[in-house]
Amino acid sequence: MLDYTDSIPLPHTGDCRFLGIDPAMVIYVEEIFGDDDTLSQHAITLADGIIDSTGGDDFVPLALPQPLVRPTPVRAARWLNFRGPRHRGLRDPERITDVVRALEVPTRIKLVQQLQLDIAPPFLIGIAESQVMAEALLQAPDTYIVCRRLRIAYALEQPKRDAQNQLYDYDTLEIYAAHLYNAADGEVDLPPETVFAGLPGVQLLRPMDCMVYNQHLLVADGGKDDQPDRIHIWRID
């Protein structure tokens, strides 16, 4: 269904999202980066990459053309949102294993390898929180691509104390995922192997937004460390 074609790097490392796509397939994106949440906006084409930009101290938003197809709000996949335990705390009093969504051993191993985590797979407990950041209809009527921000709970080898001197023996880490979702199924608890399967052709870092237009899927992928933000493109067969 998806044929990966290209990735277009953006100038910065941070968060990124789509502003919209015009009928000529010019893609408008926004980056938010740096300690001061600096804004930058770009116009992109599949053939030439970035063709126009604005940003910096004298930021002036790009003039967006009309008509413009904008990202759709999250509706079909909102059932995947949930909040579980605190971001850190004590496993036994909070019955952490009962309130998170468990991860099977193969999924734990895959996550540690894929995300290069400094955590042994047995210490990963489960999914503690989920927020759907974006959805796009891939194939009518019910097949969507969704971008999610999740928190994974993991056990500590030894208890620690936080800045308020509160004891904790589990913590959470934030990760992102993009995957298929069938709205007709009404699932609220997808198998982790589905959530973390990824998309073909490219390793995603922090998928934050998605759009489908003119038989193309586009994912705005936030950067991390020395990796810049990127726009990934797939052709929909």
pLDDT at 215 exceeding the cut of 90: yes
pLDDT computed for residue 57 by the predictor: 78
**Averaged pLDDT, 86-102:** 95
For residues 34 and 223, give the distance between their C-alpha atoms in angstroms, rounded to a whole number: 12
For residues 84 and 87, give the distance between their C-alpha atoms in angstroms, rounded to a whole number: 9
Single pTM value for the model: 0.93
The DSSP element (H or E) to which 70 belongs, if any, is none
pLDDT computed for residue 194 by the predictor: 87
Residue 236 and residue 138 in contact, taking contact as beta carbons nearer than 8 Å: yes
Q: Are strands 167-182 and 124-139 parallel, antiparallel or unpaired?
A: unpaired
**Averaged pLDDT, 91-108:** 93
Q: Are strands 101-102 and 82-83 parallel, antiparallel or unpaired?
A: unpaired
For residues 229 and 17, give the distance between their C-alpha atoms in angstroms, rounded to a whole number: 10
pLDDT digits (tens, 9 = 90+) for 47-77: 999 999 999 778 899 999 999 999 999 999 9
SS3 185: helix
**Cβ-defined contacts of 78-81 (< 8 Å, 24+):** 78/132, 79/186, 79/187, 79/188, 80/130, 80/132, 80/146, 80/148, 80/181, 80/187, 80/188, 80/190, 81/130, 81/131, 81/132
| Minimum mean pLDDT range among 81-90, 152-161, 192-201 | 192-201
What CA dihedral angle connects 50, 177, 70 and 78, to 10 degrees?
A: -170
pLDDT computed for residue 115 by the predictor: 84
What integer best gives the mean pLDDT of the chain?
A: 95
SS3 78: helix
SS3 1: coil
SS3 99: helix
pLDDT computed for residue 157 by the predictor: 95
* pLDDT class of 121 with cuts at 50, 70, 90: very high
pLDDT over 90, % of the chain: 87
For residues 135 and 75, give the distance between their C-alpha atoms in angstroms, rounded to a whole number: 8
**Averaged pLDDT, 158-186:** 95
